[in-house]
């Protein structure tokens, strides 16, 4: 990443963090439904999405704000969606859990764990058959890798040579169950060779490492037309959803990963390398905070959908 890209990455990661913290506050105040935050996973989202081009498409899941904002989503409209307002990306019908933004190439967001894995092959098939350039990036969790659909999807993408970048954001948690309890293998990539798929695991809290690994993976897909599995090893710093007191989380493990907070790591690096000093970082944080405050203001003032929307858009 160039210094300019790294500065941009930091700003996006700060925006995601601030957005999630605002959503938590809104939930706490009873203004928003339960949300699943991606606090701690910002580097994974930003590193991968920055490696994509405009032609590429994204499928994501319940923990999607990072992917959306990194793709350029307007925080006013994501916030409005979280509050169920009419100008949200999905006209208020999604809430926080299935936000798609077709205009940004973020399509078919699904909150059925593994649902997006079942759809990504079809999106990639369309691209291939309609001769559209670009690949399909599909974000899912370590829990989704326990679903049968994960294997079916990888297998079909391999057999049909579909341009899918599978991004497993391994945050160690599958709702309230630690991944150690659900799988014997240390890495999700262990499953890739069984399907004839290339793979790589990367430190998901190091945005540069993620960006490099994603760039290499994407280059491989563009060159071969075949799928690729990238695992970003990261950690869910907050609970599964809000509110969640995390009483079931090993404090030592949490402390270890808090010390590896991806924003902290990047800030330290940019300061150390003289790319962006503490004062510059502070100014950036203020700018981001203002944007999010404005987004919350917009969303709270935005009307709810009219009640006849209850039965619109069921059928095409």
Partner 1 sequence: MPRMTANDALTSALIEEMRRDSRVLMFGEGVATKRRDLLEEFGAARVRNTPLAEGIIAGTAAGAAATGLRPVIDLLFAPFLCYAMDEIVNSAGKLRYLSGGQFAFPMVVLAATGAGWGVGAQHNHNIEAWFAHSPGLKVAMPSTPADFKGLLKAAIRDDNPVLFFTDLALGFTEGDVTDEVVPLGQAAIRRNGRDVTLISYAKTVHTCLAAAEQLADRGISAEVLDLRTLKPLDEETVLASARRTGRVVVVHEASRMCGIGAEVAAIVAEKAFRDLRAPVLRLTGPDAPAPASFPLEQAFVPQPGQIVTTVRDLLGTRDVRDVELAGVPV
239 is in the binding site of which of Mg ion, ligand TPP, partner 1, none (Cβ under 5 to 8 A by kind)?
none
Contact letters for partner 1, residues 150-169 (x by CB under 8 A): --xx-xx--xx---------
Binding to ligand TPP by residue 110, rule CB under 6 A? no
Integer CA distances (angstroms), 63 to 16, 36, 201, 213, 253, in order? 11, 6, 20, 21, 21
Q: Which of 92, 141, 163, 227 binds partner 1 (CB under 8 A)?
A: 92
Instruction: Indicate the residue among 73 and 284 with the shorter CB distance to partner 1.
Output: 73
Measured CA to CA, the distance from residue 5 to residue 111 in angstroms comes to 31
Check if the beta carbon of residue 141 is closer than 8 Å to that of residue 172: no
Tokens 């808090």 sit at which residue?
258
Tokens 């599958």 sit at which residue?
174
Q: Which of 42, 81, 116, 142 binds ligand TPP (CB under 6 A)?
A: 142
Number of residues near Mg ion (by CB under 5 A): 5
Contact letters for ligand TPP, residues 158-187 (x by CB under 6 A): -------------x-xxx------------
CB atoms closer than 10 angstroms to residue 289: 15
Measured CA to CA, the distance from residue 198 to residue 226 in angstroms comes to 9
Residue 174 backbone dihedrals phi, psi, to 5 degrees: -125, 85
Binding to partner 1 by residue 279, rule CB under 8 A? no
Q: Which of 84, 88, 141, 204 binds Mg ion (CB under 5 A)?
A: 141
Applying CB under 6 A, the residues found at the interface with ligand TPP are 36, 62-63, 111-113, 141-144, 171, 173-175, 236
């Amino acid at each position: 990443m160039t210094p300019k890209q790294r500065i941009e990455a930091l700003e996006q990661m700060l925006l995601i963090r601030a957005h999630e913290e605002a959503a938590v506050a809104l939930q706490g105040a009873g203004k928003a439904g339960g949300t699943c935050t991606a606090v701690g996973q910002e580097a994974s989202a930003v590193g991968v999405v920055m490696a994509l081009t405009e032609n590429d498409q994204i499928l994501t899941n319940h923990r999607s704000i990072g992917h959306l904002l990194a793709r350029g989503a307007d925080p006013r409209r994501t916030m409005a969606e979280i509050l169920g307002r009419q100008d949200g990306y999905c006209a208020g019908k999604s809430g926080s859990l299935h936000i798609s933004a077709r205009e940004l190439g973020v399509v078919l967001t699904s909150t059925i764990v593994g649902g997006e894995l079942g759809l990504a092959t079809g999106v990639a098939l369309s691209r291939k058959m309609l001769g559209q350039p670009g690949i399909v990036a599909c974000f899912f969790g370590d829990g989704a890798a326990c679903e049968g659909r994960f294997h079916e999807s990888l297998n079909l993408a391999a057999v049909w040579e579909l341009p899918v970048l599978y991004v497993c954001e391994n945050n160690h948690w599958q709702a309230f169950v630690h991944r150690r309890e659900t799988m014997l293998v240390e890495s999700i990539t262990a499953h890739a060779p069984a399907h004839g798929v290339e793979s790589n695991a990367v430190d998901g809290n190091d945005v540069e490492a993620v960006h490099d690994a994603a760039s290499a993976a994407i280059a491989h897909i563009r060159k071969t037309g075949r799928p690729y599995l990238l695992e970003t090893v990261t950690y869910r710093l907050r609970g599964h959803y809000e509110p969640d007191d995390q009483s079931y989380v090993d404090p030592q493990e949490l402390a270890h990963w808090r010390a590896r907070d991806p924003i902290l790591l990047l800030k330290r690096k940019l300061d150390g390398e003289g790319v962006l000093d503490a004062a510059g970082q502070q100014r950036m944080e203020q700018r981001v905070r203002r944007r999010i405050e404005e987004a919350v203001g917009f969303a709270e003032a935005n009307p709810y959908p009219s009640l006849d929307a209850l039965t619109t858009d069921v059928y095409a």
